[in-house]
Every structure is written in structure tokens, then in C-alpha cells.
């Protein structure tokens, strides 16, 4: 027998997991992230694998999680149990599962020679982050919908599911006497964003994520509330079927589900071997955010139904399927404090100081809280346990507090009234705006941010002038504004700590090169609120020189294509400030470029046309492709619409853009077609 310490640890894990299951499946109020839950299950599985005598019949490793809430909804017994899935994390665990599967197939009756090789076919499906559902039809009529529950007994949510428009009320005349459709109910990200906007507008706490919002919607007592939440369904499996057609493969069942009118995810793929399975998993791990719904992995199923039957089930999961889980993008941690940062325009942004947590592939110790309204709506407080999300390259964000574990005696956080800089200037929130601002132009935080912005890649691109170097120059009293960069005493610069002659020469060369940057880059670098690269390009094109832009009225500025009133008013106000006019004159004296380039002589074959570029092209960088389009009179926005003339697709394109282009009938071009379009203005074919 295992020693008492290990036995106690197993008991503790079983108790923790059971409590987390109750909060997740019954209360829809989880207190840990999916990744943290998975880690607890993995620890318990490892103990039980090493000490099988500790396995109990009620262990979470031996049964499907989630008891039905029969106090609110009537119980429904599933004619065919709704199993859960075992998980793998990464290539090695996936390969180990494939090897176990091949060994089992080779050791069963009716095994064939190919089952020890890569010839076992698979179907790969996106693992939707939603709620499993079973929908039953009798004589072609919708009669019942039930949650998975504990796998054998679920909750009757028939009327709530009836409100989902994708789900047929009746099937066609050739429908079998009984058919159960299994799938995942989810909330689209766009619907989730709209729901949270309504929550905030009504003074209610926003939902933490789409899965919780969908679960809450499905368990409403009033189906009218469910209908307002815009739930959706992806179907992926058959349950009980009586009198239906005979199938030999899983993908045939999916085709049949589609023919009956059920939504089947368009990203499902049939693949032949483990290498293709892994390629697909890696692809969706990289492109998961191209979708309008959340996924947390890929489900891999043996395609051949006879092989599925021979592989069978464990007590809780099929042996012929596995879930390849992506690295977590949400974790829970402790919120130690809320502080405020001051940006280059004086914007005051609250941010969370966190106990460091590994999420989204990096260790996160700070996360944005956006503004006062967001902090109030989420009601996060120092001392709270909070949910932190980092998706792809997006700045980490605090989604909300785990209110069930809030320490006693905490008070709602109040936005400070003073800037955290040494000047302690007053922070103001202009009427009608969501952001507080420090309005003192001498604020050192604004000064540092403005110089960093001026030197950034999208502005003057002074690549040798990083954040630490700027701080060093400011601390030495050498730089107080961007104009000072062009008046540096280089003998003194070389005497700064960690600034040898080579570093000083590189910095000087970068600053010198910035004098010749195009006018749109200078306009961006001036740090004018609301003016970004597109607006700067539009102003430079419309007026030709900085002096003409400075002298223009608000109406004249707003008349430029792509500018508008908000940008025009901001630009006009900026140039009206005497301090800014003095800055402009110093930059003129420093020899910066105040004129837009003369016409490049390119024929305007794309005038009035809109071309979107996605993916990586061999002969153009993204900036070069967009510049080539604009040089020929066209527009190159970042999104596809009905007005898009064509979309150019390179390697690793955005899947959502391609899908939308195909849905709208927008022509899709490869690089050769793009070159033809640039030359002639016409689409090949």
C-alpha cells in the first residue's frame, strides 16, 4: 500500500476537483482556470497510475464530471451515455496516445496489417469552448434537449435550446424514428461583446468569458432570457439512432448531420496520419483567434466506426478519441494592487499589479484594467483572486474577480485624483469621455512617452533610441523634448554611463537618418491625439506640406479623404498651441522633412478600388504591398467588406478574412495576380 501521505494527497485532490466540478458545472462560477483544473486532474491521475490501489469508484478520473442540477431542471437519462474526453498536452503526449491506439488495434480481433502503421485515418475537429448538449428527435420532431450532466443523467433544457435558431424544429420526411444529435452550445465572441456592453450599460457586472455566459444563458428559468443571449450550436456526434442509415465512418455521420440541417463546423478535416494531425493542431494553436468563437484545442477521432467499436471506452472516455489541449490563455492569480500609468498624451490608465503567473506563454506580473468604468464594472479590488487572460500577442488583461474567494472587508477601488508623477498634477476626466488625463505638459511621464513615440518604428524610426536610452538622456538633463534630440552635445553623450563611442555613433546616425523620413512619419511622431498613420497619410497627400496643414481650418482638414471631424479638430487644436508651434519651428531648423514626396509617376490604375492584403508575400513586406496599392490610387484597409475589390493572400493568411472574402464573393489573388493588378488594374481571369 502507498504511504499515508500519498493517500491523503489523493483524497485532497479528489475533494478539490469535486468542488471545482460543482462550481463549474452546477453553479457556473468557477474559481480556477481550465488549466489549473487540468493540472489537478493530472496530479491525481499520476498518483493513481503509480498506486492503483488508491483508485476509488467515485474518483474524478473514473467518471464524467458534472452532476445535473435537478433542483431546477428535470433529470434526463441519456439512452447513450455522453462521455468526456481524455486530454493530451503537446506532441509527445499525442504521439504516445497514437502508439497506444495502434497497439490496441493490432491486438484486437479483425486486426489488419496496416494498423501498426500510419494508415489509421482520423477526423480532426475544433474543440469548442462551450457546453455539451444532446438533442433528441422522434418521428422527425424536436422533443428534448439535455445537458451532459454526469454523462448518464443530464438536465432537461428543452425550451431554452428551442430558442436557438440554428436548431431545426422538424427534420425532413426521411428522418429516422429516433435520432439524438450531440454538439456544443457556445456564444460567439461578437455576441459576447454585445452582451457585456449591455451588462455594463445596465450597471451589471460583465461576464468573464463566453463559456460562462453561455452556461448561464442555457440554465435560465425563462427561455426568453436565453433567446436574448444569441447562443449557437456546432454538432459533432450522433447519440441514439433508430432506423437510420448505416455508416462506416465518422465523417459520413457528420455529412449526414449537415444534410439534416444541423450546423457542422466548416474547419473539420479528415487526415491520414499523426504527422497531419499534429500539423493541424499547430495550425489552430496559431490561428485560434481568427475565429469568432473560442476554442481550447483540437479533438482527434478515429474515423473508421468499426475501429472505434473495437477500441471501446474507459469508464469515462472513448479510447478512439482524444483532445489536444492548447497552452492556457487564462489563469487565476492574486491582485496585489491597482496603480495608474500616464501615457504620452497624458492618458491615465489603471493597471493591475499581480502575483506573477505563467499564462499565454509568458510570465505576467501586470495587466491592463483599461479605465475607471471598466474597473467599476468588473469590481476588482486589491486582494482579490482574479482571472487573467493573455491571448496571442494581446496585452494581458484582468477579466474579473473570483468573488466567491474575496477577502472580507475589502472596499471598491477609487480612481486617484493626482498624477503619480513628482509634480502631483490633478487628473481630470473630460465630460463625455471614459479616460482620465494629466493635463500638465511638464509631466515627466508624458515627456518620456512622447519621445519614445517619436522614435518608434511607426514614426521617425530612430532604432538606436530605446526606452532606457531615452530615460538616461532625460535624467542627464540633455533631452526635454523631441527637438532636443537634434541639438545633442555628442562629446557629453559619449561620457554617459554604458555609452561608448560606438554606441554614440550608432545613436547619432539613427537621429541623422530621421531628418529625411517622409512627412506622414513626422506627423505621426508629433504625438497629436487621434492622428494615426492612415490619417497622417491622408493629410500629407491632401495638403502636401506641414505648413499648409498647420494653416488649414477644421473644415478644410476634415474634408481630406479619410480624416473626419474628430481628427481635424485634434490636429487644429494641436497646431494652435504656442508651445507646439515653437516645437515645429525647432524641428524645421533641425532640417526635418516638412514636404510630402512628389508624385511617383505611377499610373492610378487602382483609383477607387480597395485591396486587402493578408498573409506573407515573397516579394513584398506588408508595408510595401500597402504602399504599392496606395501609390496607384487604391486603398488598403485591414478588413474585408462588400466594397473590397480583391484580397491578396500570401502564406499563413488570416482564416477569418479569407472566410469572409469567400462569403462576400470577393476575388482572392495570389502574388502573381497581385502583380498583374498593380500593373493593369485588372483581375486575372
What's the alpha-carbon Rg for the chain, to the nearest Å?
30
Contacts 24+ apart (CB under 8 A), 315-319: 315/62, 315/63, 316/61, 316/62, 316/63, 316/64, 316/83, 316/84, 316/151, 317/83, 317/84, 317/85, 317/86, 318/83, 318/85, 319/101, 319/104
User: What is the spatial order of strands in the sheet that 141-147 belongs to?
Assistant: 141-147, 131-138, 178-187, 231-242
Cβ atoms of residues 340 and 353 within 8 Å: no
Through-space distance between the first and last CA atoms of the chain, rounded to whole angstroms: 75
d(CA 338, CA 341): 10
Provide the 3-class DSSP secondary structure of residue 279.
Answer: helix
Identify the sign of the CA torsion 314, 318, 320, 322. negative
d(CA 60, CA 572): 65
User: Is 127 among the catalytic positions?
Assistant: yes
Q: 441: which residues sit within 8 A by CB, 6+ positions away?
A: 579
d(CA 434, CA 348): 10
Tell me, letter by letter, the H, E, C secondary structure of 450-514. Answer: HHHHHHCCCCCCCCCCCHHHHHHHHHCCCCCCHHHHHHCCHHHHCCCCCCCHHHHHHHHHHHHHH
CA angle 421, 348, 550 (to 5 degrees): 100
Active-site position among 127, 316, 609, 635 = 127
Q: What residues are annotated to the active site?
A: 127
Amino acid at each position: 500500500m502507498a504511504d499515508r501521505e500519498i493517500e491523503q494527497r489523493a483524497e485532497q485532490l479528489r475533494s478539490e476537483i469535486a468542488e471545482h466540478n460543482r462550481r463549474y458545472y452546477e453553479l457556473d462560477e468557477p474559481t480556477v482556470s481550465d488549466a489549473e483544473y487540468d493540472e489537478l486532474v493530472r496530479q491525481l491521475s499520476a498518483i493513481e497510475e503509480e498506486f492503483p490501489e488508491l483508485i476509488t469508484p467515485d474518483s474524478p478520473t473514473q467518471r464524467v464530471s458534472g452532476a445535473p442540477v435537478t433542483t431546477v431542471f428535470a433529470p434526463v437519462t441519456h439512452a447513450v451515455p455522453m462521455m468526456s474526453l481524455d486530454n493530451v498536452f503537446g506532441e509527445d503526449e499525442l504521439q504516445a496516445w497514437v502508439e497506444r491506439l495502434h497497439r490496441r488495434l493490432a491486438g484486437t480481433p479483425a486486426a489488419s496489417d496496416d494498423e501498426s502503421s500510419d494508415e489509421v485515418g482520423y477526423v480532426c475537429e475544433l474543440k469548442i469552448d462551450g457546453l455539451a448538449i444532446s438533442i433528441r428527435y422522434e418521428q422527425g420532431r424536436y422533443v428534448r434537449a439535455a445537458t451532459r450532466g454526469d454523462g448518464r443523467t443530464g438536465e432537461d433544457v428543452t425550451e431554452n435550446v428551442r430558442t436557438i435558431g440554428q436548431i431545426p424544429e422538424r427534420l425532413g420526411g426521411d428522418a429516422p424514428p429516433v435520432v439524438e444529435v450531440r454538439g456544443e452550445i457556445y456564444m460567439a465572441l461578437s455576441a459576447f461583446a454585445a452582451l457585456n456592453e449591455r451588462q455594463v450599460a445596465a450597471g451589471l457586472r460583465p461576464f468573464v468569458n463566453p463559456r460562462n455566459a453561455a452556461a448561464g444563458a442555457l440554465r435560465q428559468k425563462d427561455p426568453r432570457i436565453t433567446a436574448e443571449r444569441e447562443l449557437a450550436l456546432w454538432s459533432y456526434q450522433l447519440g441514439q439512432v433508430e432506423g437510420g442509415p448505416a455508416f462506416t465512418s465518422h465523417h459520413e455521420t457528420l455529412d449526414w448531420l449537415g444534410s439534416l440541417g444541423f450546423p457542422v463546423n466548416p474547419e473539420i478535416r479528415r487526415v491520414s496520419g499523426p504527422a497531419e494531425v499534429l500539423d493541424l493542431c499547430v495550425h489552430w494553436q496559431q490561428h485560434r483567434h481568427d475565429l469568432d468563437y473560442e476554442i481550447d484545442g483540437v479533438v482527434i477521432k478515429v474515423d473508421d466506426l468499426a475501429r472505434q467499436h473495437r477500441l471501446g471506452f474507459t469508464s469515462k472516455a472513448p479510447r478512439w478519441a482524444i483532445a489536444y489541449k492548447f497552452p492556457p490563455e487564462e489563469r487565476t492569480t492574486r491582485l496585489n494592487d491597482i496603480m495608474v500609468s500616464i501615457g504620452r498624451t497624458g492618458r491615465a490608465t489603471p493597471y493591475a499589479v499581480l502575483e506573477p503567473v505563467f499564462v499565454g506563454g509568458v510570465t505576467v506580473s501586470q495587466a491592463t484594467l483599461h479605465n475607471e468604468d471598466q474597473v467599476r464594472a468588473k469590481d476588482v479590488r486589491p486582494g482579490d483572486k482574479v482571472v487573467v487572460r493573455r491571448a496571442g500577442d494581446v496585452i494581458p488583461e484582468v477579466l474579473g474577480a473570483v468573488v466567491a474567494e474575496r477577502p472580507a472587508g475589502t472596499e471598491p477601488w477609487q480612481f486617484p485624483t493626482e498624477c503619480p508623477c513628482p509634480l502631483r498634477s490633478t487628473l481630470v476626466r473630460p465630460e463625455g469621455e471614459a479616460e482620465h488625463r494629466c493635463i500638465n505638459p511638464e509631466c515627466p511621464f508624458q515627456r518620456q512617452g512622447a519621445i519614445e513615440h517619436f522614435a518608434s518604428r511607426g514614426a521617425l524610426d530612430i532604432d538606436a533610441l530605446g526606452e532606457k536610452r531615452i530615460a538616461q538622456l532625460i535624467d542627464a538633463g540633455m533631452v526635454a523634448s523631441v527637438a532636443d534630440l537634434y541639438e545633442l552635445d555628442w562629446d557629453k553623450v559619449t561620457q554617459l554611463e554604458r555609452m561608448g563611442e560606438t554606441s554614440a555613433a550608432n545613436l547619432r546616425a539613427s537621429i541623422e537618418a530621421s531628418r529625411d523620413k517622409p512627412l506622414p512619419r513626422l506627423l505621426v511622431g508629433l504625438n497629436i491625439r487621434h492622428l494615426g498613420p492612415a490619417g497622417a497619410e491622408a493629410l500629407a497627400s491632401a495638403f502636401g506640406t506641414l505648413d499648409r496643414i498647420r494653416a488649414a481650418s477644421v473644415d478644410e482638414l476634415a474634408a481630406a479623404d479619410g480624416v473626419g471631424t474628430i481628427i481635424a479638430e485634434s490636429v487644429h487644436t494641436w497646431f494652435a498651441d504656442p508651445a507646439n508651434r515653437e516645437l515645429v519651428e525647432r524641428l524645421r531648423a533641425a532640417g526635418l522633412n516638412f514636404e510630402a514626396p512628389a508624385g511617383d509617376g505611377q499610373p492610378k490604375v487602382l483609383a477607387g478600388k480597395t485591396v486587402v492584403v493578408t498573409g506573407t508575400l515573397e516579394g513584398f513586406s506588408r508595408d510595401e504591398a500597402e504602399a504599392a496599392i496606395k501609390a496607384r490610387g487604391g486603398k488598403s484597409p485591414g478588413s474585408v467588406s462588400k466594397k473590397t475589390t480583391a484580397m491578396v493572400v500570401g502564406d499563413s493568411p488570416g482564416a477569418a478574412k479569407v472566410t469572409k472574402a469567400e462569403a462576400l464573393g470577393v476575388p482572392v489573388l495570389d502574388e502573381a495576380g497581385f502583380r498583374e493588378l498593380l500593373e493593369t488594374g485588372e483581375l486575372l481571369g
